[in-house]
Structure 1
Amino acid sequence: MAQAKNQALLEILNPIIEKQGLLLWDLNIKKVGGQKTVEVLVDLPDHQNISMAQITEFTQLVNEALDDVAVDPVPGEYMLDIASPGMDRSLAEPWHFAWAKDGDLAVTVALFAAKDGQKQWTGQITDLNENGLSLQSDQAKLDVTFDEIAKAIVAVQF
């Protein structure tokens, strides 16, 4: 969870996530249009797709849990946004890349600085370690560290 780690909020969310058999993809607290938004992205494990009914049920359980706490884990007014990370989900944490590799999914990485004349590469992750990854594209193999990656997403292929 790259941006905002709110331990008090996680203590409320984690039991619900576990009970529902979900995967917490990301948790962000950000300002959107002047309003604080708590964004919770959940999915099913093992590369299954979460349904709208499951998101709705999870949202209801989270709302009930937040209504029952004595001290709100997110100070001030905020909007709660619970959703799926989507097919073209952002890859920000090392385990996100491992998830994509395990699913044999193509990914697109945008680099801060060009390598071999390109700042954007799409391909399969062939190797992964704690420092970075190897990506096999149609043109070449790219070795990058996580620090070199500006943005990465799952490349949706139709």
Structure 2
Amino acid sequence: MVAVAAQRVREVLEPVVHAQGLLLEDVVVHRRGGRSTVEVVLDLTEDDERDLDLDRVAAATQAVSDALDDADPVQGEYDLEVSSRGVSRPLTERRHFVHAVGRSVTVRLADGTTLSGRLDGVDREADAIVVVPVTPGLKGRRPKVGDPRTVPLGDVRDARVEVDLSGLGPVDDEAGADAGDDEAGHRAGRES
């Protein structure tokens, strides 16, 4: 019953979301007691260079709400939740990789190995991704950056964007030699 409702909601919303210039990534309908929750996940098209910001989500939410009110594909009262994919969802489609270019990723390959680094690009003709391997440096040392690797999307078992907190640590000596000087000209920072 819930799967049928989700399919009906998807059929109603697909053209509405498309008219907003977005993709309907997922629709889930949960039923608890006498009330349902309709979860709608939106995504950008592969060639959309804009962000899926709050204004775009709000406009799409209004269009989705109006369409659901008009078509009434869900029986009874329901709560509507509209969101973007979010950074925690796996990268499963080429468009996901396109929008993650420049971010740190971890890619599990079909052969069981893992590749971590910066997603440098997507080769649309070869249907492949380009990852620059990055191995974290030990004890405050700079990370090791490898040669770019091209990986066919068919060889990707699982991939995720990693939250990059590298810019939140202490300043290294080369990049911020003067950043830690106090008024008396003494170096502030960690003890060796």
Bin for the TM-score computed over the shorter chain: 0.5 to 0.7
Paired position in structure 1 for 2:159: 151
| Separation in structure 2 between the aligned mates of residue 11 and residue 133 of structure 1, nearest angstrom | 32
8 Å contact 1:41–1:82 — kept in the other structure? yes
Where structure 1 has 5 or more consecutive residues not aligned to the other structure, the ranges are 1-5
| Separation in structure 2 between the aligned mates of residue 145 and residue 42 of structure 1, nearest angstrom | 19
| Matches for 1:42-61 after TM superposition, within 5 Å | 42-43=43-44, 46-61=48-63
Structure 1 or 2, whichever has the larger Rg, is 2
Sequence identity percentage: 22
Paired position in structure 2 for 1:108: 105
Tell me, what secondary structure is at the counterpart of 2:28? strand
Where structure 2 has 5 or more consecutive residues not aligned to the other structure, the ranges are 1-5, 134-144, 168-192
Give TM-score scaled by structure 1 length: 0.61
Tell me, what secondary structure is at the counterpart of 1:46? coil
| Separation in structure 1 between the aligned mates of residue 25 and residue 50 of structure 2, nearest angstrom | 17
Please tell me whether residue 82 in structure 1 is matched to residue 82 in structure 2: yes
| Separation in structure 2 between the aligned mates of residue 30 and residue 153 of structure 1, nearest angstrom | 27
Q: CA deviation at 1:108?
A: 0.6
AA partner of residue 81 (structure 1): E
Q: CA deviation at 1:60?
A: 1.9
Q: CA deviation at 1:65?
A: 1.0
Q: CA deviation at 1:86?
A: 4.0
| Separation in structure 1 between the aligned mates of residue 122 and residue 61 of structure 2, nearest angstrom | 36
8 Å contact 2:90–2:158 — kept in the other structure? no
Tell me, what secondary structure is at the counterpart of 1:26? strand
AA partner of residue 16 (structure 1): V
Tell me, what secondary structure is at the counterpart of 1:92? coil
AA partner of residue 29 (structure 1): V
| Matches for 1:60-71 after TM superposition, within 5 Å | 60-69=62-71
Paired position in structure 1 for 2:117: 122
Give TM-score scaled by structure 2 length: 0.52
AA partner of residue 41 (structure 2): V
| Separation in structure 1 between the aligned mates of residue 50 and residue 152 of structure 2, nearest angstrom | 28
CA RMSD of aligned residues (A): 4.0
> Counting strand residues as a fraction of each chain, which structure ranks higher?
1
Q: Using CA pairs under 8 Å that are at least 6 residues apart, name the structure with larger relative contact order, 1 or 2.
A: 1
AA partner of residue 146 (structure 2): Q
